[in-house]
């Protein structure tokens, strides 16, 4: 559940969230204003192992940053079952669909361990990025980096190099 | 020119030539020389001058060869034909050894019975002397020597005949090998219309020459001999500019011409079969029907065959004809120099004449690497030693995955293998085959091999039980420079079966843990069930002085570990790679991705060591299969630093 709601979060809470953001590669070293802005859109939550955080096809309302624990990105293959395509480790993001139309998740996200997550409100983040170009200029390269890393990894996995 | 004193020069009238043949035979030698067969001048047994191609020559051009009749009576008025002397010192097929496995599974390995004939080569040209000189460097000049070749060479007397009738395909002048005879002969002849100017090059040659009924060679005869040599040289010209050819050619690995040649090239292997220096071979076992006895046989092979660079399960490093043509041409004219200190080409023109589509290497070299000097630092060395199989016993079998087992093997001869360097062994079973396998652990009296069933031989090996016997060569190749990593941080990255050859590194580090800095071990497997050494990985991970990361490419919902590529295990890590050494093994494409990620962590190419997978057969750099640019992976590798490999790493079709 959200720890903060409304437009004016408490300063001390914000400072804690900024510190958490700074400990992730995704948001570390962003300009201070950008981190404060992100913290104002963030809520922190914990989930136990086995919890489905987001289901494939569902509206992705939040961009999640894993603070600790491991989550899996899965997809259901009929007659085969759930296949884990990728695990997301601390510092990395899931739910990037919250930034890209049609804002629907491309995989099912399940916690493999107890997880601690910082979640950025999707609609709020989109509005902030559209209004604040400095924020957009700082954040989008990180998003691209995260997705590009994932894309190149997926290509290698697709090659099934260890099959022979 | 050979240092032969003038007094050793005599003249043998044509009518006396039969006497030379008889003296060679009396010396206990089978005389091999030119004779006409199947519409060509080939090398065969010569008993009498009538066997020689008297008055016969050959018209040659790219893809063209026709016998022609001369008006004179000369025996040697032709340019070289389709055969070369190679086949007599390096036979097209050769039994290397015999192995047996009895009903109780006991195996034994022994040499094949061998008879080395005593031969005399009659009519060897300057280019062919050069070719024999090149083969001497290949087979006798490196760390491993071919004892069969040595014996055949030592048992051969060479009667050279100076070339007077070069063909339109000749270019010995460019390659610096002819047409004049310089060295390598026991006896040298210059044929004139009325007979032969004779000189001896060695004491063995002299022993024959002194028994000939020689007249003194006249000044006119000597002048005539010199004139015909000069005329031959003029006719050949200098069609290939060899100065700087090595660098020019290697700078054109991406030339569009390779693909254009491939449109004509049939990959028929004629050029390599006709070439007097091509030495690639393959080894196979020929079994008797009950599977108890097998003969290990070596036969000529060619880098033009489709499967020449293929590895287990269908991977092929040179699938296209353009890859194979490039391999052949760049080896012959460039990387051969890196390997053996001499060009592999003598300019005899056989590959041009006998190419069915008339591909002319002279033209191709000039187009691909249009026109500086070929280096020739001799690669001297000699530890006479060829790998032989010792019998090892299977002491334990551990199943790693559904298709992979680890065999613990002990040597009965008490040799301490724990210190044996070398990265891999050739494992052989009589009547089954032989395969190269990386050492996955060194034991005081043996070793462990982790083997995956990917072909017929490995399928049998993975089915062996405790007590079974196998043949192992001595450890071959260059391994990981683990000692160089002392006082440094170490990053070990393995993919799939690639963890097996990395395991001895971990063993070595753990045996002296305090000598190393931080140690990171990262391993990627296909699925959770394909993970090797699960218990050891867990034990390593439990230590506080090792960082261990394991990931898989795909998993079902029961796997709670990481899923993703191996580079994700460290590309966001906090360690500083500028002080580290990395050891990487896995499929080549995975190594490429890993190398890029390591570079991103600050590791320079001289600190990244990788193990290359290639088709390895002989294990000592003499069969040609595993060549990568200037290296034979089996002998020069399989472990290389990235800096050492340079731009041959990751290049298509090399």
What CATH number is associated with residue B405?
Answer: 2.40.30.10
ipTM over 0.90: no
Hey, is the C-beta of B47 within 8 angstroms of any chain A C-beta?
A: no
CA pair distance B428, B469, nearest whole angstrom: 10
Are residue B208 and residue B99 in the same domain, yes or no? Answer: yes
Choose one of B368, B400, B429: the last residue of a domain: B368
Residues of A in contact with B496 (CB under 8 A): 161-162
User: Domain holding A115: CATH number?
Assistant: 2.60.120.10
Are residue B445 and residue B505 in the same domain, yes or no? Answer: no
The neighbouring-strand residues paired with B187 are: B159, B200
Residue B176 in any domain: the answer is: yes
Q: Residue ranges of chain B with pLDDT lower than 70?
A: 1-8, 372-388, 413-421
Hey, is the C-beta of A160 within 8 angstroms of any chain B C-beta?
A: yes
Identify the DSSP state of A104: B
Residues of A in contact with B587 (CB under 8 A): 161-162, 164
Q: How many domains does chain A have?
A: 1
Hey, is the C-beta of B650 within 8 angstroms of any chain A C-beta?
A: no
Are residue B205 and residue B230 in the same domain, yes or no? Answer: yes
Residue A163 in any domain: the answer is: no
CA pair distance B91, A131, nearest whole angstrom: 81
Measure A154 CA to nearest chain B CA, in Å: 8
Hey, is the C-beta of A161 within 8 angstroms of any chain B C-beta?
A: yes
Strand B10-13 and strand B489-495: the pairing is: unpaired
pLDDT of residue B383: 37
Choose one of B472, B498, B522: the last residue of a domain: B472
Which residues span the domain enclosing B422?
390-472
CB-CB under 8 Å, B525 with A86? no
Residue B381 in any domain: the answer is: no
Q: Which residue on chain A is closest to B569 by alpha carbon? A: A89
Identify the DSSP state of B346: -
User: What are the φ/ψ torsions at residue B634 (nearest 5 degrees)?
Assistant: -65, -35
Residue B516 in any domain: the answer is: yes
What contacts B546, CB < 8 A, 6 or more positions away? B506, B519, B520, B521, B540
Q: In chain A, what is the straight-line distance between the N-terminal and C-terminal CA atoms, in Å?
A: 47
pLDDT of residue A9: 47
Are residue B195 and residue B150 in the same domain, yes or no? Answer: yes
CB-CB under 8 Å, B562 with A89? yes
Are residue B179 and residue B325 in the same domain, yes or no? Answer: no
CB-CB under 8 Å, A161 with B589? yes
| DSSP per-residue string spanning chain A | --S--SS---HHHHHHHHHHHHTSTTTTT--HHHHHHHHHTEEEEEE-TT-EEE-TTSB--EEEEEEES-EEEEEEETTTEEEEEEEE-TT-EE-GGGGSTT-B-SSEEEESS-EEEEEEEHHHHHHHHHH-HHHHHHHHHHHHHHHHHHHHHHHHHHTTGGG-
Q: Which residue on chain A is closest to B313 by alpha carbon? A: A164
CB-CB under 8 Å, B312 with A164? yes
- Scored b (16 or more CB within 10 A) or e, A28-37 reads eebeeebbbb
User: What are the φ/ψ torsions at residue B14 (nearest 5 degrees)?
Assistant: -55, -40
Are residue B434 and residue B577 in the same domain, yes or no? Answer: no
User: What are the φ/ψ torsions at residue B409 (nearest 5 degrees)?
Assistant: -120, 140
Are residue B450 and residue B315 in the same domain, yes or no? Answer: no
Residue A160 in any domain: the answer is: no
Which residues span the domain enclosing A29?
11-122+133-152
The neighbouring-strand residues paired with B435 are: B427
The interaxial angle of helices B257-264 and B321-330, nearest 10 deg, is 110
Q: Cis (ω within 30 of 0) for the bond into A102? A: yes
Residue among B213, B168, B183, B178 nearest B78 (CA): B168
Measuring CA to CA, how many Å separate B476 from each of B318, B325, B650? 24, 29, 24
Mutation site, B404, B498, B563, B615, interface A, largest A CB count within 10 A: B563
pLDDT of residue B374: 37
Residue B383 in any domain: the answer is: no
CB-CB under 8 Å, B560 with A161? no
Q: How many domains does chain B have?
A: 4
CB-CB under 8 Å, A112 with B554? no
Are residue B76 and residue B224 in the same domain, yes or no? Answer: yes
Identify the DSSP state of B620: S
H or E element in which residue B26 lies: helix B17-26
Residue B639 in any domain: the answer is: no
Are residue B200 and residue B102 in the same domain, yes or no? Answer: yes
Are residue B63 and residue B188 in the same domain, yes or no? Answer: yes
CB-CB under 8 Å, A85 with B589? no
Choose one of B417, B448, B472: the last residue of a domain: B472
Residue B61 in any domain: the answer is: yes
Give the number of other CB atoms < 10 A from CB of residue B106: 13
CB-CB under 8 Å, B571 with A157? no
H or E element in which residue A42 lies: strand A42-47
User: Domain holding B508: CATH number?
Assistant: 3.40.50.80
Residue among B212, B211, B174 nearest B196 (CA): B212
Residue B406 in any domain: the answer is: yes
- List the B555-556 sheet strands across, edge first: A52-54, A108-111, A71-77, A81-88, B555-556
Are residue B401 and residue B430 in the same domain, yes or no? Answer: yes
CB-CB under 8 Å, A160 with B562? no
Residue B130 in any domain: the answer is: yes
B605 neighbors B596 (Cβ within 8 angstroms) = no
If DSSP codes are grouped into helix, strand and coil, which group holds residue B340? helix
CA pair distance B94, B234, nearest whole angstrom: 41
pLDDT of residue B419: 59
B227 neighbors B197 (Cβ within 8 angstroms) = no
CA pair distance B356, B559, nearest whole angstrom: 59
What contacts B618, CB < 8 A, 6 or more positions away? B281, B283, B625, B634
The neighbouring-strand residues paired with A27 are: none
pLDDT of residue B475: 86
Identify the DSSP state of B648: G
A35 neighbors A26 (Cβ within 8 angstroms) = no
CA pair distance B179, B348, nearest whole angstrom: 10
- For tokens 């040298």, the residue is B188
- For tokens 């060009």, the residue is B343
pLDDT of residue B417: 62
| DSSP per-residue string spanning B408-477 | EEE-TT---GGG---SEEEEEETTTEEEEEEEEEEETTEEEEEEE--SHHHHHHHT--TT-EEEEPPPBS
Residues of A in contact with B586 (CB under 8 A): 161-162
Residues of B in contact with A164 (CB under 8 A): 312-315, 454, 587
Are residue B12 and residue B129 in the same domain, yes or no? Answer: yes
Q: Residue ranges of chain A with pLDDT lower than 70?
A: 1-13, 164
Q: Which residue on chain A is closest to B592 by alpha carbon? A: A156
Among the partner residues B454, B553, B556, nearest to A82 by beta-carbon distance? B556
Length of chain B: 654
Strands (E), B125-220: 156-161, 187-192, 195-200, 215-216
Residue A44 in any domain: the answer is: yes
Measure A39 CA to nearest chain B CA, in Å: 23
CB-CB under 8 Å, A91 with B564? no
Measure A84 CA to nearest chain B CA, in Å: 5
CB-CB under 8 Å, A162 with B564? no
Residue A17 in any domain: the answer is: yes
Strand B30-37 and strand B119-124: the pairing is: parallel
pLDDT of residue B444: 81
Residue A46 in any domain: the answer is: yes
B75: left (phi over 0), alpha (psi -120 to 50) or beta: alpha
Residues of B in contact with A76 (CB under 8 A): none
Token pair listed for B551: 């990931």
Residues of B in contact with A152 (CB under 8 A): 593
């Amino acid at each position: 559940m959200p720890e903060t709601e409304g437009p004016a979060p408490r300063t001390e809470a914000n400072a804690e969230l900024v510190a958490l953001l700074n400990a992730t590669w995704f948001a570390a070293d962003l300009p201070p204003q950008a981190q404060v802005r992100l913290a104002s859109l963030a809520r922190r939550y914990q989930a136990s192992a086995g919890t489905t955080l987001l289901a494939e096809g569902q509206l992705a309302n939040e961009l999640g940053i894993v603070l600790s624990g491991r989550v899996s990105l899965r997809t259901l293959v009929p007659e085969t079952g759930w296949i884990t395509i990728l695990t997301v480790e601390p510092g990395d993001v899931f739910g990037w669909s919250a930034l890209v139309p049609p804002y629907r998740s491309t995989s099912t996200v399940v916690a493999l361990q107890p997880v601690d997550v910082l979640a950025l409100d999707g609609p709020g983040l989109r509005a902030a990025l559209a209004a604040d170009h400095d924020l957009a200029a700082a954040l989008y390269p990180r998003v691209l980096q995260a997705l590009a890393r994932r894309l190149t990894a997926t290509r290698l996995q697709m090659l099934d190099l260890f099959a022979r | 020119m050979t240092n032969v004193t003038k007094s050793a020069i005599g003249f043998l009238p044509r009518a006396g030539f039969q006497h030379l043949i008889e003296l060679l035979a009396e010396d206990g030698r089978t005389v091999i020389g030119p004779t006409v067969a199947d519409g060509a001048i080939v090398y065969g047994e010569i008993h009498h001058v009538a066997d020689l191609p008297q008055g016969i020559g050959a018209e040659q051009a790219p893809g063209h060869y026709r016998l022609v009749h001369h008006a004179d009576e000369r025996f040697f008025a032709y340019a070289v034909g389709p055969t070369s002397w190679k086949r007599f010192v390096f036979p097209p097929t050769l039994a290397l050894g015999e192995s047996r496995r009895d009903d109780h599974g006991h195996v034994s390995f022994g040499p094949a019975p061998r008879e080395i004939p005593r031969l005399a080569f009659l009519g060897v040209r300057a280019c062919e002397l050069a070719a024999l000189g090149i083969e001497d460097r290949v087979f006798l000049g490196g760390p491993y020597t071919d004892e069969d070749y040595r014996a055949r060479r030592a048992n051969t007397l060479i009667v050279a005949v100076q070339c007077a009738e070069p063909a339109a395909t000749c270019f010995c002048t460019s390659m610096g090998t002819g047409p004049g005879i310089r060295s390598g002969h026991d006896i040298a002849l210059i044929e004139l219309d009325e007979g032969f100017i004779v000189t001896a090059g060695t004491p063995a040659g002299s022993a024959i020459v002194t028994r000939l009924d020689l007249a003194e060679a006249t000044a006119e005869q000597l002048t005539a001999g010199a004139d015909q040599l000069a005329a031959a040289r003029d006719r050949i010209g200098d069609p290939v500019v060899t100065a700087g050819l090595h660098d020019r050619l290697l700078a054109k690995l991406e030339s569009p011409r390779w693909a254009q040649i491939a449109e004509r090239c049939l990959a028929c292997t004629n050029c390599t079969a006709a070439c007097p220096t091509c030495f690639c071979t393959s080894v196979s076992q020929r079994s008797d029907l009950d599977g108890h006895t097998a003969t290990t046989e070596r036969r000529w092979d060619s880098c033009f065959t489709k499967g020449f660079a293929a590895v287990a399960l269908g991977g092929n490093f040179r699938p296209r004809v353009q890859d194979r043509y490039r391999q052949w041409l760049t080896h012959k004219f460039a990387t051969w120099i890196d390997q053996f200190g001499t060009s592999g080409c003598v300019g005899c023109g056989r590959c041009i004449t006998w190419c069915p589509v008339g591909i002319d290497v002279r033209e191709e070299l000039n187009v691909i690497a249009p026109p500086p000097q070929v280096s020739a630092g001799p690669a001297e060395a000699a530890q006479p030693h060829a790998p032989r199989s010792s019998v090892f016993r299977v002491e334990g079998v551990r199943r790693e995955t559904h298709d992979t087992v680890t065999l613990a093997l002990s040597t009965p001869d008490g040799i301490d293998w724990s210190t044996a360097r070398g990265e891999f062994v050739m494992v052989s079973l009589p009547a089954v085959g032989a395969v190269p396998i990386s050492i996955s652990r060194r034991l005081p009296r043996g070793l462990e091999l982790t083997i995956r069933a990917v072909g017929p031989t490995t399928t049998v090996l993975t089915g062996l039980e405790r007590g079974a016997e196998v043949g192992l060569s001595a450890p071959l190749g260059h391994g990981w420079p683990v000692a160089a990593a002392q006082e440094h941080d170490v990053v070990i990255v393995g993919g799939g079966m690639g963890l097996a050859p990395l395991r001895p590194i971990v063993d070595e580090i753990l045996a002296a843990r305090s000598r190393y800095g931080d140690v990171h071990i990262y391993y990627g497997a296909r699925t959770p069930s394909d993970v090797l050494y699960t218990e050891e990985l867990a034990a390593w991970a439990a230590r506080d002085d090792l960082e261990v990361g394991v990931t898989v490419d795909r998993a079902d919902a029961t796997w709670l570990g990481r899923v993703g590529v191996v580079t994700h295990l460290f590309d966001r890590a906090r360690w500083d790679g500028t002080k580290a050494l990395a050891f990487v093994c896995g499929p080549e494409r995975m190594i490429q991705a890993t190398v890029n990620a390591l570079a991103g962590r600050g590791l320079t190419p001289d600190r990244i060591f990788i193990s290359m997978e290639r088709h390895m057969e002989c294990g000592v750099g003499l069969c040609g299969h595993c060549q990568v640019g200037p290296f034979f992976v089996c002998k020069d590798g399989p472990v290389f630093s990235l800096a050492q490999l340079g731009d041959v790493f990751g290049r298509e079709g090399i």
